[in-house]
């Protein structure tokens, strides 16, 4: 259709072929194929002259409308590249959604006010492609090889409980005693490996009280429900105020790796590309990786 419109504009196959950078024979063949597909002659051609048929005149109007729409579409995408806009859907775990992500999202929207953020805060593992998310923050390296994972940092984790809860029991001096205690476990954990120098202990977590939300686990621990495992960035303030205290401080649990995850490296929307840049350079993740004060 675009080639036909070019032939009509130039008034000859030769001139149209030159403008299009194609052999004249190719232009003639493609116009003939178009006429065959439509079942109507569009051009009357002689060795010296080329004229539009009545059908060609009517068809040309629609071809020109198509070209105009294509030009408008190109301009719209160019404006989008120059000024990112549109909707960006973000998935994040609850702990990050209540702590670091609000600062990051605020800074992002200050820089790109035409991008609308739709943030889903949940510890449930979502399928980014199937559920239509553009990007996610996730703890742990992505297992799906089709996703791109960019490491953001490492969060140390600690066994914590309230002083009131611990006061009910003899002091805990070895992980073997954990089996005598109540625990608020995350459903993603089945067991924890604790380490003291070269000594390791595997704690099989009880299933009497499990959750999929670390904020809930933290509040339960503050209320005296038992021992839980929390990353430093979620527990720093409550530990500083003595709402929670460290259990077995000589023993260390494995920390959490944080990743930014999205479906592809190629041809991402300008909004997503800018979001990735902001996240990868944001100072909030320095706080994510800090340990609890001794």
> Kind and range of the H or E element at 215?
helix 214-222
**Residue 166 pLDDT greater than 70, yes or no:** yes
Neighbouring C-beta atoms of residue 48, cutoff 10 Å: 6
**Residue 224 pLDDT greater than 90, yes or no:** yes
Mean residue pLDDT across the chain: 87
- Residue in the block written with tokens 């839980």: 228
Least confident of 135-144, 201-210, 240-249, 261-270: 261-270
Four-point Cα dihedral 141, 147, 153, 156, nearest 10: -30
As its CATH architecture, domain 86-154+258-287 has 3-Layer(aba) Sandwich (3.40)
Question: What number does CATH give the domain 157-254?
Answer: 3.40.190.290
Question: Which residues on neighbouring strands pair with residue 148, listed in sequence order?
Answer: 262
Helix, strand or coil for residue 134? coil
**Dist CA 68 CA 70 (whole Å):** 5
**Dist CA 113 CA 153 (whole Å):** 27
Average the pLDDT over 178-190 and give the result: 89
* Residue 73 confidence (pLDDT): 78
**Residue 173 pLDDT greater than 90, yes or no:** yes
Domain edges within the chain = 2-82, 86-154+258-287, 157-254
What is the share, in percent, of the chain residues with pLDDT greater than 70? 96
* Residue, of 237 and 189, whose pLDDT is higher: 237
CB 162 within 8 A of CB 239: no
Listed residue (291, 284, 269, 293) closest to 98, CA to CA: 284
Neighbouring C-beta atoms of residue 1, cutoff 10 Å: 15
Neighbouring C-beta atoms of residue 25, cutoff 10 Å: 10
Four-point Cα dihedral 46, 51, 56, 58, nearest 10: -170
* Residue 275 confidence (pLDDT): 92
In this chain, the answer to whether the domains covering 2-82 and 157-254 adopt an identical fold is no
* Residue 77 confidence (pLDDT): 67
Q: Give per-residue pLDDT as tens, 123-157.
A: 888 888 889 899 999 887 777 777 888 888 888 99
Average the pLDDT over 157-161 and give the result: 94
End-to-end CA, the chain:
73
CB 84 within 8 A of CB 270: yes
Q: Give per-residue pLDDT as tens, 5-64.
A: 998 888 888 888 998 899 989 988 999 999 899 898 888 887 677 888 888 889 999 998
Question: Within a 13 Å sphere around the CA of 212, how many CA atoms are in the beta-carbon half?
Answer: 7
Listed residue (279, 274, 281) closest to 83, CA to CA: 274
Q: Give per-residue pLDDT as tens, 57-103.
A: 899 999 988 988 888 777 766 766 667 888 999 999 888 888 888 98
* Residue 167 confidence (pLDDT): 95
**Dist CA 211 CA 226 (whole Å):** 13
This prediction has a pTM of 0.66
Four-point Cα dihedral 289, 292, 293, 294, nearest 10: -130
Question: What number does CATH give the domain 2-82?
Answer: 1.10.10.10
CB 254 within 8 A of CB 201: no
Question: Which residues on neighbouring strands pair with residue 150, listed in sequence order?
Answer: 260
* Residue 294 confidence (pLDDT): 60
* Residue 209 confidence (pLDDT): 92
**Dist CA 260 CA 285 (whole Å):** 11
């Amino acid at each position: 259709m675009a080639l036909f419109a070019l032939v009509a504009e130039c008034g000859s196959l030769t001139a149209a072929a030159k403008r299009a950078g194609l052999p004249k024979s190719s232009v003639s063949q493609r116009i003939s194929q178009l006429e065959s597909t439509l079942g109507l002659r569009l051009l009357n051609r002689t060795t010296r002259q080329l004229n539009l048929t009545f059908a060609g005149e009517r068809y040309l109007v629609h071809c020109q409308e198509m070209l105009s729409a294509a030009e408008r579409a190109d301009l719209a995408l160019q404006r989008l590249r120059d000024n990112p806009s549109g909707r960006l859907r973000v998935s994040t775990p609850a702990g990050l959604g209540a702590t670091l992500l609000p600062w990051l999202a605020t800074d992002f929207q200050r820089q790109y006010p035409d991008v609308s953020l739709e943030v889903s805060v949940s510890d449930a593992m979502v399928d980014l492609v199937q559920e239509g998310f553009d990007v996610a923050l996730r703890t742990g390296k992505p297992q799906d090889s089709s996703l791109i994972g960019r490491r953001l940092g490492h969060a140390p984790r600690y066994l914590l409980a309230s002083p009131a809860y611990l006061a009910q029991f003899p002091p805990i001096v070895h992980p073997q005693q954990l089996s005598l205690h109540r625990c608020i476990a995350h459903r993603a954990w089945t067991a924890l490996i604790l380490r003291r120098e070269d000594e390791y202990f595997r704690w099989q977590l009880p299933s009497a009280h499990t959750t999929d939300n670390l904020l809930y686990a933290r509040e339960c621990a503050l209320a005296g429900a038992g021992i839980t495992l929390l990353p430093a960035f979620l527990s720093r303030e409550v530990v500083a105020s003595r709402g929670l205290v460290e259990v077995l401080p000589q023993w260390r649990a494995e920390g959490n790796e944080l990743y930014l995850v999205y479906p592809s490296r190629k041809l991402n929307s300008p909004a997503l590309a800018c979001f990735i840049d902001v996240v990868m350079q944001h100072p909030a993740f320095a706080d994510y990786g800090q340990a609890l004060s001794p």
